[in-house]
Amino acid sequence: MQCGSLSHIKYLSLPCCSVCVVHTQTYSSSCLPSQSGRVSDLYNPKFVFVGGAFAVGALSLGTGFTRSKVAFFALRALTGIPVAMTIPSALALIVRLFPEPGEQGKAIAAFSGSAAVGNILGLVLGAVLSQNAGWEWVLWFTALLAIPIAIVAALVVPSQPPSKTITGSKLANLDLPGVAIITASLVLLIFAFTATGTDQWSSATVLAPLIISVFGIAAFFVWEARIPAERAAFPPKIWFYPNFAILFAVALSVFLWYTSAFLISITYWEQVYHWSTINAVVQ
């Protein structure tokens, strides 16, 4: 919902700012799901989901009130962290609350389908809100949804014990160095590809983060191979699962194309053809 409606905020109207406005939250949320799943395993997935949903609402509410560029980007980046917390914890809850294979398959299919439907309807609703009520209401509407969802989940969803029993500190079982390396690297990688919507491939804005991200990703895999597999955020053995590497490459290529084409298309239709936000998003 926020992607199609926040790119034309007046005090963030430069092209480079538009890229960051649209994708800052994506930078952080796309880097953390694997470790968020580990947190759900070590702690109570219900609390992880409730805390994540409530934090999304609270941060979105605060972002709607800010008029500082730095604060806006910071809050958008921080919002990506609880967003990443909600996805693995929601899947963990579905698996536990629907143990029967048939019902579990239907629940996971409904969960996956709702993401696709929400992505489309959210774009249209975000355009309607930003054009008729202001971009702030896109964020406030997110808060109006996320906070009640957190409250209802806290009251209705049964308490879930951790799925893993460990000895020692739970924090020590989180691959924090690996997460820090891959998060920084993927942030730079995603920024490099999304920046191609407003800058040339040969520009420093694209090449510098792209080159650094490649070395960072390589360093991440070296680190993952040197620590115990049970602690690793992305154990090397995952690549040897049947068809995993192919599916990963296909999914990544689609995501990179979408993030690069989305912003340039919306900007082109609005600035060249002078379409309204609603018409540009619907197209």
Instruction: Please report whether residue 265 resides in a domain.
Output: no
Q: What pLDDT score does 118 carry? A: 81
Instruction: Please report whether residue 151 resides in a domain.
Output: yes
The domain containing residue 97 runs over which residues? 10-167
pLDDT category at 18 given cuts 50, 70, 90 is low
Q: Would you say the C-alpha torsion 227, 231, 235, 238 has a positive or negative sign?
A: positive
Q: What pLDDT score does 36 carry? A: 74
Q: What pLDDT score does 11 carry? A: 45
Cα→Cα distances 194→74, 96, 185, 189, Å: 18, 37, 14, 9
pLDDT category at 45 given cuts 50, 70, 90 is confident
Instruction: Please report whether residue 145 resides in a domain.
Output: yes
pLDDT at 63 over 80: yes
pLDDT category at 19 given cuts 50, 70, 90 is low
pLDDT category at 6 given cuts 50, 70, 90 is low
- In terms of C-beta density within 10 A (0-12 exposed, 13-18 middle, 19 or more buried), how is residue 225 classed? exposed
pLDDT at 242 over 70: yes
Average pLDDT rounded to a whole number, residues 26-33? 64
Instruction: Please report whether residue 248 resides in a domain.
Output: no
Stated pTM of the model:
0.71
- In terms of C-beta density within 10 A (0-12 exposed, 13-18 middle, 19 or more buried), how is residue 5 classed? buried
Q: The domain spanning residue 49 has which CATH number?
A: 1.20.1250.20
Q: What pLDDT score does 144 carry? A: 93
Instruction: Please report whether residue 123 resides in a domain.
Output: yes
Instruction: Please report whether residue 219 resides in a domain.
Output: no
The tens digit of pLDDT for each residue in 71-81 reads 887 788 788 88
275 or 167: whose pLDDT is higher?
275
pLDDT at 233 over 80: no
Domain count, the chain: 1
Instruction: Please report whether residue 155 resides in a domain.
Output: yes
- Percentage of the chain beyond pLDDT 90 is 13
- The residue among 193, 179, 191, 174 whose CA lies nearest residue 257 is 193
Average pLDDT rounded to a whole number, residues 226-234? 80
Instruction: Please report whether residue 79 resides in a domain.
Output: yes
Report residue 164: phi and psi, to 5°.
-125, 135
Average pLDDT rounded to a whole number, residues 134-154? 91
Mean per-residue pLDDT over the chain, rounded: 78
